[in-house]
Structure 1
Amino acid sequence: MHPVPPPPVQPRNPLHGVTLEAMVVALAAHYGWAGLAERLPVRCFQSDPSVASSLKFLRKTPWARAKLESLYLFMQRELTRASHRR
């Protein structure tokens, strides 16, 4: 058996090492489910939202996952800017 090579290092990828679950949890904590549903109007955030239902939908829906990743990066930039203003 051949050893499995380590995954390539991606120093310029801000999403490297961030799980989909971590993104959903962070966004829900930051914006709340209602705020998340406003910014990304999909049913998994609007009707009886949960991390599990969101993950199930996002794993099957590439366009929604891309939008969630974009919103996550936006939130991270905003948090970084806010921390530099202090």
Structure 2
Amino acid sequence: MSGQQLNNPLHGIKLTTMLEQLFLEYGCEELGDTLNINAFKNNPTYKSSLKFLRTTPWAREKVEKFYLKNMTN
């Protein structure tokens, strides 16, 4: 089973961890403008953004790609 995740750079990184780091580094306003996701623009909270990303695959994918591009070495 561990062989299935060898090529997955996000393996072991929780969505909550990603979102916390992105909020601290960029803030809601910049994330909303950069990713064009309304959950970060309209009265955003950490909890509401996390819930939205868990239930909206296209938005989660955008956030994951942004995280990989900007937050990993």
Q: Is the structural similarity TM-score above 0.5?
A: yes
The count of corresponding residues between Structure 1 and Structure 2 is 72
Rg larger in structure: 1
CA distance, structure 2, for counterparts of residue 18 and residue 41 of structure 1: 23
Provide the secondary structure at the position in 2 that maps to 1:16: coil
Deviation at 1:8, TM superposition (A): 2.1
Percentage identity across aligned positions? 43
Which residue does 2:37 correspond to in 1?
42
Q: CA RMSD in A?
A: 1.5
Question: Within 5 Å, which residues of 2 pair with 1:1-86?
Answer: 8-9=2-3, 10-77=5-72, 80=73
Q: Provide, for residues 26-66 of structure 1, a one-character-per-residue CA deviation record: whole Å limited to 9, x for no partner.
A: 11111111111111122210011111101111111100000
Unmatched 5+ stretches in structure 2: none
Moved over 6 A (4+): none
TM-score of the aligned structures, taking structure 2 as reference length:
0.85
Higher helix share: 2
TM-score of the aligned structures, taking structure 1 as reference length:
0.74
